[in-house]
Structure 1
Amino acid sequence: MKKTLLVMIALVAAKVSIAQYGANDKRVQLGFTASPLISVLNPQESGVKRNSVKVGFNFGLMADLRLNESGTYSLSSGFQALFAGSTLKYDAGVGLSDFKAVPSEYNMKLTYVEIPLALKLKTKPVNDMTWFGQFGTFFDFPVAGRANVISAGQTFNKVNILPEMNRINIGMLIGAGVEYPLGETLRGMAGITYQNGFVDVTRNKKWNDGRINMNSFALRLGIYF
């Protein structure tokens, strides 16, 4: 709860600071996103397999910096919270030291602070609707990690795995969607985004599990103001 509260405080602080900048510069378009997603932890080596994906959530601030007068090119970023994870089954000999004597299952629930950075290309408005595509990267910083572990017939709930997670995740971001007017000043946004993580989610010295990548598919919903 404390870490979630810190994330919320950081989001509010970022909103205030960015809004102060955007109020005096019409090149900056600010918004808020609340996006459901499906996250997938992908084991890259033998000894680990995925049992299920997880329905997650992403919410926070969006900021588009216009790069030309018409607004067809912009730099898209933001400051968001990401809730993701998956369920992984580990063979004996891999996984956390407390459980790796026998095959164990880890239901992982991960929380990140996310900073996307992408080039956003827009069409000119057609019937007040603007289509866009974007390509770039993202930076994820873990702030919480818990796992419900089933090992040797016993269940261990809310095991803290944050110390055993890598401190950053970086990857590729691609997406597409549409923006449309909701009034004189508000614009809605809807689209899809795919993110492919390049960095191992878990620390190999702790897990001995090779590389575990995190990917996600999101239904991007938001409002620009």
Structure 2
Amino acid sequence: MKKIFLTIAALAVAPAAFAQVEIGLKVSPSIAYLRPDSPASTSFTSEKAKLSFGGGIFMDYFFGENYAFNTGLFLTGKGGTIGYNDRSTAAGGATGVRVEQKIAMQYLELPLTVKLFTNEVAPDTRLYFQVGGSLAVPVQVRINGEKYYTDPYDNNTQTKAGKHVLDIDANIIGGAGVEYQLGQSTKLLAGLSYHHGLVDFDRYFERDRKFSDVNIKNSVFALDLGLKF
């Protein structure tokens, strides 16, 4: 009985023995693009990707020697250029016209992920794999580089760019990278991550233009460069 009790006690305190917090800064140049979907009548497509830049502070909370809960607070750039079919009445009748719209968004993002570390693959060097999700809110939106959008195919109606985008976004995150120990508590990290948007953020085409069944979601490929203290 005593051995069983000691074994249970050892298992209970093991996470606390390994628990430690590492805090760092990260910058993430990225390629962002949009994933639109719609009926053939409007034919929304992704036309161009967008170079973006993000960064912020992060925390790795280790609950085992090779396992950590990762969170933080980041500014993340998203967006891209979409194309779609619109209606023009300039020639005296309803005719189709192909339109491109560049959407640039900046989000304040909270990641909630798990990082799995290998043992050392070289002196002071470990690989890591990251999986989880994130929640984000838009803090800045521009349409074609402007804070207000004037739609030439809707009687030149002007709307605020921020009103085109839903007030929340959610993403699945997957990534991998390498971490190098520089000193007793200083570490460098470099990795790649993919952020797959789950939320249709469009609040303009269906609500204001009355297009049917339009869905637009975010995607981001990021190069993650960080320094832990």
TM class by shorter chain equals 0.7 to 0.9
* Partner in structure 1 of residue 162 of structure 2: 162
Letter in 2 for 1:210: V
* Partner in structure 2 of residue 144 of structure 1: 140
Q: CA deviation digits over 1:17-76, x for unaligned, max 9? A: xxxxxxxx97111000011110010112232122201011110011111112x2x11101
Task: Say which of 99, 102, 122 aligns to 2:117.
Answer: 122
1:176 is paired with a residue whose SS is: strand
Q: 1:215 Cα deviation (Å)? A: 0.6
1:31 is paired with a residue whose SS is: strand
> What residue ranges of structure 2 are gaps of 5+ in the alignment?
1-17, 88-95
* Partner in structure 1 of residue 179 of structure 2: 179
Task: Say which of 68, 77, 88 aligns to 2:71.
Answer: 77
- Is 1:42 the counterpart of 2:38? The answer is no
Task: Say which of 210, 219, 222 aligns to 2:223.
Answer: 219
After TM superposition, the score normalised by the length of structure 1 is 0.76
Aligned-pair identity in percent equals 30
CA distance in structure 2 between the partners assigned to 1:50 and 1:211 by the alignment: 12
Letter in 2 for 1:117: L
After TM superposition, the score normalised by the length of structure 2 is 0.75
Question: How many equivalent residue pairs?
Answer: 189
Change (3 A) 1:223 1:32: same
- Is 1:191 the counterpart of 2:191? The answer is yes
Letter in 2 for 1:217: F
Letter in 2 for 1:34: V
Q: CA RMSD in A?
A: 2.5
TM superposition outliers: structure 1 runs of 4+ over 4 Å: 149-153
CA distance in structure 2 between the partners assigned to 1:195 and 1:58 by the alignment: 13
Letter in 2 for 1:32: L
Letter in 2 for 1:161: A
Q: CA deviation digits over 1:115-169, x for unaligned, max 9? A: 111111111223110111011001111011111169659xx9xx73112211111
Contact 1:105/1:150, CA 8 A, preserved across alignment: no
Q: 1:102 Cα deviation (Å)? A: 5.3
Contact 2:19/2:63, CA 8 A, preserved across alignment: no
